[in-house]
Amino acid sequence: MLMKGLIFGMISFLVTGAQCEVSEVLTEVGSQAVLPCKCNPLRCSTAAIIWSKDKRGTLWRKDRSGLQYWGSSWMGREGARVQCPHAQFDKGDCNLHINAVTESDGGLYTCRVLDGNRFAENQIWLRVVQVSISPSAPLWGQDVSITCRVNPWPTEGSVSWMLNNRQYKLKNRISSNGEQSVVKETVTEKVVGNWTCVVDSTKEWQYSVALSVRGIIKPPEDDSVVYAALGSAITLPCVFSAGLSPEEIAWEKVGFGSLDSNNRPSLSSWDQSVTINEVELKDQGKYRCAGSINGKRLTRTMQLVVAKIVQTKRKSFVTLTCQLTDTSQDTEYEWVPAKYINGTLTVGQIQKGQSFVMEENWDEVTCRYYGKQGLLGNVTYHYQVMSAQSKENSKERSHNTGTIIGLGFLLVILLLVLAQMFRNFQRRKRIFQYPALETIVHTISNEREERERRNQTKKVTTFQEEIQ
C-alpha cells in the first residue's frame, strides 16, 4: 500500500491539471451519507477512481477497464456498505454512498480521479452526529442527560443547544470534552419537548431528539384549568403513562380533604381520573391527584371552573348573563341563539358580550367563552325546559290547593254528622228519664203502623176484585 501511495503521489505531481478541494458532510448514525466528488461527464466511466479513508486504506476503486474493488472492512453479510453508482457518471458525479453510517465512519475521506493526463483530488470531512437521552424515558422529577456526540469534533466550529426551537441559555448545565456536549437537567414540564444539537462548522447543521417523560401525562402540567357547565358531568383527568401501575393513589380537593373513591371509574391501572356526575357550584376549586411510581411520588394539580347562566327580568325583556367561578382565563363571550322550526334546529345571529337580551322566544341559547388559547367551554340555557318547569310547578301548586279545599269540605261534613248524632243521643237520653211517657209514645207508634198495614191490605183486595 505504501508503494502504491508513492506511485500515485508521483503521478499526481507529474500529471498536469491537478486540483484539490476540501468539503464537509454531517450525518446521523444509522442514516445514509453521500460524499461528493466530481469527474468529467464524458470520460467518467473510463477514468480511474479511488476512494480512501484515513487510517483505513481503500474503500472502493475502479480501474480504467471498469473493474471495481472493495475494501474488506466495508463488506458485510448483506454486501458492501459503500458504492459508487454508475448511473451518476453521466452527470459527472462519482459520489460515494455509505449506508447505515456508524459513529466510527467519521473521518477524512479522499476521492482521486485520474482521467488521462488530468488528476483531481477531493477531500471530504464526514462528521457523524448522535443525539441521545439517558434514561430514554425518564420519570417526572428524575435527572436526565441529553448528549450530542460528533465524530470527529469540529475543532474550528461550535456546538450549541436549542429547546423547542428556542436557544438554551443555561450554560452552567452544559459540559463539553471535545467529543461530546452534554446537558444535565431535572425533568419538569419546562424541559419536555424537542432538544436540538446545533453544529456550526462550515455551515450550520441541526439534529433533534424528543424528550418524552413517563408519569402523569394528563393533565400535562400543574395548574391546568378544567371547565364544566353547572349540572353537567365532568371528568377530572389523572392519566399516567401507558404501562405504569401507580400505587397509593390519592385524590383531594385542596383545603377540603380527600375525595370519595367511588367516583373513580378505574378504566385501567394508569387511568386514575375521577368523575363528578352533576357539577354544583360548591365543586369549583383546586384539586390534586397523586400516585407513587417506584417509590417516587408524582402529583398534578388542576383548577375546576364552573359556568352558569343567570336569568334576570328587566321590564318586558329577559336578560341572560354568563358567569364563571373564575374569570382569570376568559377574555371573550359569544352567544348562539337557536330554535326548532319543523323539527330542525335553526341558529340565529351570533352576539358578543357577557349578557344576552331575549328579544324573542328562543328554544335554547348557548354561551361560549374564549381565552387566549381558544375556546374554553360553553353552557346552554333551555328556554322551553324552564317554561315547562314553571308550568309544572304552577299545576302542582293548583293541585295542592284543590286537595286542601276538598279535605276541608269533608272535615266540615264529618263535624256536622257528629253534631247531629250527639243531639239525637241527648234527646233520647232526656226521653228515657220518663218510662211512662216512653210507653205511651211506643204504643201510639205501634197502633199507627197497624192501621197503615190494614189500609194497605184493603186497597190490594179491592183492586183484585175490580180486576175480576
Q: What is the DSSP string of 171-204?
A: GGGEEE-SSEEEEEEE--TTS-EEEEEEEESSSE
- Structural domains of the chain ordered from first start: 21-127 (2.60.40.10), 135-211 (2.60.40.10), 216-305 (2.60.40.10), 306-382 (2.60.40.10)
Q: Residue 184 pLDDT more than 80?
A: yes
Q: Residue 204 pLDDT more than 80?
A: yes
CA distance 273 to 141: 21
Q: Residue 219 pLDDT more than 60?
A: yes
Give pLDDT tens digits for 84-127. 998 899 899 999 999 999 999 999 999 999 988 888 899 999 99
- Position 389 scores a pLDDT of 43
Determine what percent of the chain is predicted with pLDDT higher than 90. Answer: 49
Give pLDDT tens digits for 42-69. 888 889 999 999 866 889 999 998 899 9
- Position 131 scores a pLDDT of 96
> Which of 137-146, 261-270, 455-464: highest mean pLDDT?
137-146
Length of the chain in terms of residues written: 468
- Position 417 scores a pLDDT of 79
Q: Of 28 and 115, which is predicted with more confidence?
A: 28
CA distance 377 to 330: 10
> Which of 143-147, 213-217, 452-456: highest mean pLDDT?
143-147
Q: Residue 2 pLDDT more than 50?
A: no
36: cis peptide before it, omega within 30°? no
Query: What's the pLDDT band for 397 if we cut at 50, 70, 90?
Result: low
CA distance 7 to 4: 5
- Position 14 scores a pLDDT of 41
CA 439-442-445 angle, to 5 degrees, is 150
Phi, psi dihedrals of residue 307, rounded to the nearest 5°: -110, 140
Give pLDDT tens digits for 73-86. 888 777 789 999 98
Query: What's the pLDDT band for 251 if we cut at 50, 70, 90?
Result: very high
Query: What's the pLDDT band for 413 if we cut at 50, 70, 90?
Result: confident
Q: How far is CA 18 from CA 21, 108, 338, in A?
A: 11, 20, 83
Instruction: At 185, list the grid cell.
Output: 437537567
Q: What's the whole-number average pLDDT of the chain?
A: 84
CA distance 51 to 62: 9
3-state helix, strand and coil shares in percent for the chain, rounded to the nearest 5 = 25, 45, 30
Phi, psi dihedrals of residue 327, rounded to the nearest 5°: -110, 20
Q: Give the H or E element holding residue 124.
A: strand 118-134
Query: What's the pLDDT band for 438 if we cut at 50, 70, 90?
Result: low
- Position 97 scores a pLDDT of 95
Q: Of 304 and 20, which is predicted with more confidence?
A: 304
- Position 238 scores a pLDDT of 93
Q: What is the CA radius of gyration of the chain?
A: 50
Q: Of 137 and 324, which is predicted with more confidence?
A: 324
Which residues have a Cβ under 8 Å from the Cβ of 152 and sit 6 or more positions away? 106, 107, 125, 127
CA distance 96 to 99: 10
Q: Residue 404 pLDDT more than 90?
A: no
- Position 6 scores a pLDDT of 38
- Position 394 scores a pLDDT of 47
Instruction: At 333, list the grid cell.
Output: 363571550
- Position 4 scores a pLDDT of 42
Q: Residue 210 pLDDT more than 90?
A: yes
Local structure of residue 210 (DSSP, 8 states): E
CA distance 236 to 247: 19
Q: Of 14 and 332, which is predicted with more confidence?
A: 332
- Position 442 scores a pLDDT of 61
Query: What's the pLDDT band for 351 if we cut at 50, 70, 90?
Result: very high
Which residues are paired to 195 by β-bridges? 163, 209
Determine what percent of the chain is predicted with pLDDT higher than 70. Answer: 84
CA distance 305 to 232: 12
